[in-house]
């Protein structure tokens, strides 16, 4: 079937990894299509996660003014509209957008205001997740989570930790996640991608997230799978990027189908629309082709995504109605 026609929810979507060639050209007309393909899009196989996320640098380097942030945000909504995504949680690290004089607050306010405009313009609901990064120091991590608290009540809905899981310990970020827990801030965390189950256990113990970005290597530990199911912790699964960063050798080895059949709450996501050169429709087609997933699998994933989103109850009810209506009519 044509999965492009189905309404979709996307919870794992980095802003600086999702620049189309059109917006890159708008910001810097000297960048050719050849350079874009080589510098912004990762090969089908990277050395590891650190190699893969080097492409994100090209993205955030072009997102250093209010105008550039507005353009990139609007460009992403165009992509979501084309992919029939009706709700997205867009994440970015405000501290990365200060190279030309913007303050982290100005970066958040600019993206927040543009998201507000785009919700009306494209009729797509959205939230913003602010990210700390593994290589940040304790002060930077604390500054980021305090921004989440400061802008609570706007479109800012949560806190995340991203970047090189294998390269940096969690020590610098424990304080920030304790702050988040004390202030009832919604949390997700990139983990269980570049490292195995022990990394997921560590993150659950110290960060207490309600969702996990990736988490696919949890499949290596049945006790961990049982814990995730019991605690109803949601996994934001991104199949294509996991193959690119060598979490699995090939898509047939991916744990997504096993995680789904174990009964763990999960959703499908692109991770990085530009770096992986993928849409959510592509991911659905991939799961159908390799694991013989059907419409019922995608319906469950979307309903789980709504339940575990950081949206308000009112928006959740609206989205659930849209998903159920969309799936019953096709």
Active-site positions read 193
Residue 88 CB-half CA count within 13 A: 32
Round to whole Å and give the CA distance between 121 and 115.
10
Distance of CA 328 to the CA centre of its chain: 27
Which residue in 98, 88, 100, 188 sits closest to 148, CA to CA?
188
Residues 144 and 178: beta-carbon distance below 8 Å: no
Contact 149, 99 (CB under 8 A): no
Cα(136)–Cα(309) distance, rounded to whole angstroms? Answer: 26
Q: In what order do the strands lie in the sheet with 266-268?
A: 188-191, 211-214, 234-237, 266-268
């Amino acid at each position: 079937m044509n999965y492009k026609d189905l309404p979709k929810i996307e919870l794992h979507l980095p802003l600086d990894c999702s620049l189309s060639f059109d917006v890159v050209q708008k910001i810097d007309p000297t960048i050719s299509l050849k350079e874009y393909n080589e510098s912004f899009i990762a090969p089908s196989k990277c050395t590891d996660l650190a190699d893969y996320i080097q492409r994100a640098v090209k993205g955030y380097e072009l997102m250093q003014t209010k105008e550039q942030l507005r353009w990139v945000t609007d460009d992403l909504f165009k992509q979501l509209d084309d992919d029939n995504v009706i709700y997205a949680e867009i994440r970015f690290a405000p501290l990365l957008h200060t190279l030309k004089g913007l303050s982290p607050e100005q970066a958040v306010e600019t993206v927040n205001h543009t998201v507000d405009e785009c919700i009306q313009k494209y009729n797509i609901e959205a939230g913003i997740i602010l990210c700390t990064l593994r290589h940040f120091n304790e002060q930077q991590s604390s500054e980021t989570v305090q921004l989440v608290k400061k802008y609570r009540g706007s479109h800012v809905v949560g806190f995340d930790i991203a970047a090189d899981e294998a390269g940096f310990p969690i020590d610098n970020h424990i304080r920030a996640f304790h702050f988040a827990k004390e202030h009832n801030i919604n949390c997700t965390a990139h983990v269980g991608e570049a490292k195995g189950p022990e990394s997921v256990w560590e993150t659950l113990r110290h960060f207490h997230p309600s969702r996990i970005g990736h988490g696919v290597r949890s499949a290596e530990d049945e006790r961990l799978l049982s814990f995730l199911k019991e605690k109803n912790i949601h996994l934001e699964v991104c199949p294509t990027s996991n193959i690119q960063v060598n979490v699995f050798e090939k898509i047939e080895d991916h744990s997504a189908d096993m995680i789904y059949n174990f009964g763990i709450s999960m959703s499908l996501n692109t991770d990085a629309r530009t770096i992986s050169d993928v849409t959510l429709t592509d991911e659905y087609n991939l799961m159908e082709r390799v694991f013989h997933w059907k419409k019922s699998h995608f319906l469950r994933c979307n309903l789980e995504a709504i339940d575990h989103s950081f949206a308000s109850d009112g928006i959740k009810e609206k989205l659930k109605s849209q998903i159920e209506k969309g799936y019953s009519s096709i």
